[in-house]
Amino acid sequence: MSNWGAFSLQLDGLQDVIANEEISAYADLTRAIGAELGRREGPGADYLGWLDLPQAMVGPELQRLEDAAERAREDCDVVVVIGIGGSYLGAQAVLSALTDRTSGPEIVFAGTHLCSTGLSRLLRDIGDRDIRLCVISKSGTTLEPAVSFRLFRTLLEERYGAENARRRITAVTDSSRGALRTLADAEGYDTYVIPDDVGGRFSILTPVGLWPLAVAGLDVRALLEGAGDMSVVCENTVQEANPAHLYAAIRNGLYNKGYTTEVLSTFHSDLGYVQEWWKQLFGESEGKQGKGIFPASCRFTTDLHSMGQYIQDGRRELFETFLVVDSGVPDLTVPADPGPDGADRNSDGLAYLVDRSLDEINRKAFEGTRAAHIAGGVPVISLEMRTLDEWSLGGLLFFFEKAVAVSGRMLGVNPFDQPGVEAYKNEMFKLLGKP
């Protein structure tokens, strides 16, 4: 077990499949790639600005963002964050994971699809509550958020009048390019910049993530601090002491042995969007040129009753990373079910669980599942977080970003572009008759 403050990695579930020496054999490569990233060189070098964000974001612009977020918290009931892919998943991931720490207006997301059923329902649910918009698009031209923004902007103008509507809109976009930048300048929206050298899926620590999180009352400085602390850890040149290098080495070692799918599994009900963020980060960064580990996710114990069979017993080409949170609060215990004589009636067969906490039961479910999957031939990594807060999540997210940068370059791809995403857009725009 190796320990890095925000989390630890337990690797004994790999023993039957990949030996320590095989992982160590990648040390020269991970060190070389780490050094290349440190010099801001290599494939995609123009998109390495995320490496500096934990420190670079702390300054007057962050203060301006926090002040604006504080004012926004006071003047609305609902904030509609409009964005897709990297322009919403980071904020959604942290918000969902830290739901119990949020306060202030409800935060909802739009622009994540083109389905009128969902969008109509969202508009209905918002009803006549006071709203604000935060529209986020780096390119400023993405169809899904642009369509949603037009719908919500129309609603705002009808409700508050053009001038007051403008004051209820925040835009996060490129410094100079794109339709959203043009519109934001023309309308005078409160606007924040996504740096040129930060791609969408690496943008959680820019205003893309920080504005919605600050409005939700979360401590964005602690998030940055956690990422900053982890960035130092992830510079270590010794592979065993660098979680990003170690994880990248294991993933590539397994991939080279034919394990082409990674399942990120969790037993925590609030980590679903961390899994979604992770899938985008790894899928878009590595899936190119006919290569890449397919990132999948499972939420347990729910999915043990759907995907459990396949993981246990299907094609042996997947490995599993368990994302575990050690402390479960608030905790529930299984109540007694006393009969007339005071003894537990045990009519449901649960007497053996009386007074035991759900957290303990869930933990045993994890341990049992882990043991079963290892026995079934699944290589297993366990990533255990001791706390779930802004600091630890900042560390976790930065760790994954650094890991995918190293892992993608080990695979021989540029982890920072996404040329494949254009294919569906081109076909769709042709069909829609876009000029």
The set of catalytic residues is 284, 305, 425
Q: Pick the closer one to ligand PA5 by CB: 310 or 429.
A: 429
At 159, the amino acid letter reads R
Q: Pick the closer one to ligand PA5 by CB: 283 or 379.
A: 283
Q: Closest CB to ligand PA5 belongs to which residue? A: 200
Q: Pick the closer one to ligand PA5 by CB: 143 or 365.
A: 143
| Nearest C-alpha neighbor of 48 from the set 197, 224, 205, 232 | 197
Q: Which helix (H) or strand (E) holds 125?
A: helix 116-126
Q: Which helix (H) or strand (E) holds 143?
A: helix 143-160
Closest distance to ligand PA5 from the beta carbon of 256 (Å):
26
Closest distance to ligand PA5 from the beta carbon of 87 (Å):
4
Question: In angstroms, what CA-CA distances link 343 with 334, 338, 424?
Answer: 15, 5, 64
Closest distance to ligand PA5 from the beta carbon of 427 (Å):
16
Q: Pick the closer one to ligand PA5 by CB: 27 or 296.
A: 296
Q: Pick the closer one to ligand PA5 by CB: 137 or 239.
A: 137
Question: In angstroms, what CA-CA distances link 207 with 16, 91, 98?
Answer: 44, 10, 18
Closest distance to ligand PA5 from the beta carbon of 176 (Å):
14
Backbone angles phi, psi at 230, to 5 degrees: -70, -30
Residue 269 · residue 394 · CB < 8 Å:
no
137: helix, coil or strand? Answer: strand
Closest distance to ligand PA5 from the beta carbon of 429 (Å):
14
425: helix, coil or strand? Answer: helix
**Cis peptide, bond prior to residue 154, ω within 30 of zero:** no
Closest distance to ligand PA5 from the beta carbon of 418 (Å):
5
Residue written as token pair 């079910």: 337
Per-residue H/E/C for 357-412:
EHHHHHHHHHHHHHHHHHHCCCCEEEEEECCCCHHHHHHHHHHHHHHHHHHHHHHC
Contacts with ligand PA5, residue ranges (CB under 6 A):
84-87, 137-139, 142, 145, 199-201, 284, 418, 421
Q: Pick the closer one to ligand PA5 by CB: 88 or 247.
A: 88
Residue 139 · residue 194 · CB < 8 Å:
no
Q: Sign of the C-alpha dihedral, residues 371, 372, 375, 380?
A: negative
